[in-house]
Structure formats: structure tokens, C-alpha cells
Amino acid sequence: MGDPTAAIGREPPLSAAIVGGGIIGVITALGLLHRGMHVTIYERATKWPDIGAAFAFTGVARECLQNLDPKILEALSRVAHRSPAETVRYWDGFHPRTKQAAEQDESALFETPEKNLAFWGCLRTRFLLELTAQIPQDKEVVQFGKQLVGYDDGLEEGKDKVVLKFADGTQAEVDFVIGCDGVYSTTRKLLLGADPAAKAKYSHKMVYRALAPMPGAVAALGAAKATVQCLHLGHDAHMVSFPEAKADNEKINNGAAYNIFLFVHDPEDWPDSSSSEKASTRTEVQQALQGWGPHMTELMTLLPEQLSKWAIFDMADHPAPTYASGRVCIAGDAAHASTPFHGAGAGMGVEDSLVLAELLADAGAGSTQERPQRIAAALRAYSDVRLGRTQWLVQSSRDMGDMYQWRYPLTGKDAVKIKAQFLERQRKLWDFDVNAMVGTARKAFEKQVKAMPSNGHI
């Protein structure tokens, strides 16, 4: 019996391998499924990863989610918390010598409008669970326990499929591969080889994450600061803090806990590049804030005696020269791992997903014979369009981390200059035309397709 798709004059759907079952991997998979492609997610863990911390999506990112598949945005809306504040205040954490002085308006360095970026925040794990519930259960979309160890593209040899090789000895054949395997991406290492960008590097920033009792946070910072998100800036460190949201993510649970993210500059090398987490102590945190204002030092006494610190790795030192080679590409943190100081890393990954979904849908519209080269052309166009904006974000986020810690030479401790830099850079994130991005990518793809000779090779 012949191919049923041939009998009705249609080409078979494109087959995709998504390496990595994190947020961007699942979002990309859902976008491709929505466009009728056959998708398999290969996740090295034995179950969906527990990815802990909170993150947020801008208005631009939400527009991309809507365009990928409206069900993705619906899933986010069920777990997201919208900030009730119209502004975010940035406070001096270092100079005030009394708690009373720290609460006065004179200690507020500046404030920025919340409406432009319009963040929706949520816990990563909760959003991932909402997303995975959207995956069709009858199509064997997800395979756990699959550690990628290599692949054979075979594009130049005229092979129809990419062959993936896994640590358990199994293989898989697909039309294309998207590596969404995060900061420590195996796909990136295989794609870039000996290039220094194959491995993300320590940004010399680390973060202590902890929960403090809400009454103690109010006593240390004052009710006005402890009941909203705010930032405290100072020498070689800064803190982002906010009250914990209730389970329904609609109202602030003032009786629960206070979230503390303390970012600290670290001049030393991180001792273990294979692990970003190390055990730490409250004493170590207190030493990092020696000489800071009493409101900050009192808040640190509320931390547990034993806690962890996490190294932040990014790709600022060695940006990837390309995000694609042949029929294999990388997206999200695998392509442009960033520090969190713009709060836009996840949003950039979502933009990647939309461009990939649209271009690969276009690539699949050609004949079966042309598909391998059309897919390669689509991935080259994706890389060309996304390199500039994403790598700007990586470097700018590094810069913002230094500004918040009074280490950036052009701003120092000058709050006026820091605010001006922040607003100028922030605008590049929110004042962005998603449809124009996709249109530009399509034009780049079409240009490469037109250059393809009759044998399908560019």
C-alpha cells in the first residue's frame, strides 16, 4: 500500500526534534504542533524538570505566545501574577544609616514605569505543568531519559534526514533539530565544536535566593517597601525582593513569606563549571553586605543559617557566531544565555520560537526533494535575524548588573545616569514590532530560496 499522503497529493508533515524539555523547548514544540508538524521532545531527565525560580514575560513576549498558539498564552494567564504597581522603585541599600532614613523618599534613587514592559510573572514549574498539559497524549511527543551525544546532518551528502544519537545507544531520524537545552547546551557544543562560544562562561555574578518571614521583612524595610516589588542598589551587590503570591496568583499573601534575590559581584572564578549551585551560609551573605544600611543588614538576619548560592553563566564573553548549521539550530538560553538583569531572557527565547515556527512552516511548503535545503535556508534566516537583538540583550544585561552594583564606569553611583541608561535600554525591549521581525525573517528566507539552483542546493 502506498503513502496515503501521496494519494491525496499532499506532502508528509515535517518532523522535528526538540532537544530539551524546559519552557522554551515545550513552547517551541507547541508552536510547531499548532502548524501541523510531527514533533518529538527529547529530555535527558526522567521526568519534567523542576526548574524552581520565578520569571516573567513582557507584553512583546505575550504577543509572540499568542501568535505561536493562543493556548500557550491562555496557559500563562492561568498561573501568572500581574504586578498591581504602576511603578518600580529603586532604593539606596548602602548609604542610609538608620531604618527610618532608609524609608524616606530621599533614599529612593529613582522609579520606572511598570506599564511599558508589563511583566506577567510566574513560577517556572507551574507554567511548565500548564504547558505540558497542552501536549497531545496520543502522539508520543515526549521521550524522557534521552541525552544527546551526537548527530549526523548529512545535508552536504544529500541525506534526507538528520540522525540524532543518544547516550543509551538509540538513534532517531528527523527533518530538523532545535536545541533548547539551556545554558549548558549539548546541542551548542556539537554545533559550534571548538569555538569558545560552545560553552557559557561565568559572568562573575552570583545570586543567593531565600524566603524570609513577612513580618520580619516589614519590620526591616517598612510596610511600604515590603508589600511591593522593589530593588536596593549598592556597592558590588543589589537585591530584588517582593512578597510571595498566593496560590491563585491574584493577591499578595501578606502573611506568608518575602522573596529575596541578592545578587553579588564575584571577582573569583567559579570553581566548578559543571554545577552552578554551591552551599553557603547566612554569615557569608552578611559579609557580602558589610557596611550596608541597617535595614539591609537586619533583613539578612532573617535568612536561614544554611542556604545555597548560584553562579550565573552567560555568553557575553564569547557570543555564538551563528545559531544554525545545516538543519540543526539552537534557541533560547542554548543560543544566547543571559544574566537576568533585564528580566527578558525568557522573552527572547519566545521570540526565537515564533520566528522558527513561521519559517519552518514556510520551509515545509516546498516539495519533498527541496525540503532539506529549504529547511537549512530557514534556519540560516532565523540565525541572521535573531543574532543582533539577542546578543545585544546578553551584553546589555551584563551592563545593567554592573550599574545596579555601582560598577559601570559610565554611570557609577549616579542615579540619574543609571535611570537614563535603564530607560533607553528598556525601550529596545518593549518598543518592538513582532510582525516586522517575522516579516524580515521571511524576506531573508525567500531570498535564500530564490538563490537555490534547480538541484535544490544553495
User: CB-based contacts of 413: which residues, under 8 Å, 6+ apart?
Assistant: 406
Query: What b/e readout covers 148-173, taking b as 16+ CB neighbours within 10 angstroms?
Result: beebebebeeeeebbebebeeeeebe
Angle between helices 23-34 and 345-363 (to 10 degrees): 30
The continuous run of DSSP H or E covering 314 comes out as strand 306-314
What is the Cα–Cα distance from 366 to 369, expressed in whole angstroms?
Answer: 8
Virtual torsion, Cα 117, 413, 294, 340, nearest 10 deg: 40
Q: What 3-state class would DSSP assign to 163?
A: strand
Residue 269 CB neighbours (<10 A): 11
The 3-class SS string of 213-274 reads EHHHHHHHHCHHHHCCCEEEEECCEEEEEEECECCCCCCECCCCEEEEEEEEECCCCCCCCC
What is the Cα–Cα distance from 57 to 72, expressed in whole angstroms?
Answer: 12
User: CB-based contacts of 347: which residues, under 8 Å, 6+ apart?
Assistant: 57, 58, 60, 61, 64, 429
Residues in the chain, overall count: 458
Side-chain-side CA neighbours of residue 147 (13 Å): 7
φ/ψ of 199, rounded to 5, equals -120, 130
Catalytic site includes residue 442: no
What is the Cα–Cα distance from 376 to 327, expressed in whole angstroms?
Answer: 5
What is the Cα–Cα distance from 373 to 160, expressed in whole angstroms?
Answer: 10
Q: Which of 44, 209, 282, 442 is catalytic?
A: 209
CB 79, CB 130: distance < 8 Å: yes
User: CB-based contacts of 271: which residues, under 8 Å, 6+ apart?
Assistant: 278
User: CB-based contacts of 244: which residues, under 8 Å, 6+ apart?
Assistant: 211, 214, 252, 253, 256, 257, 258, 259
Task: Just list the catalytic residues.
Answer: 209
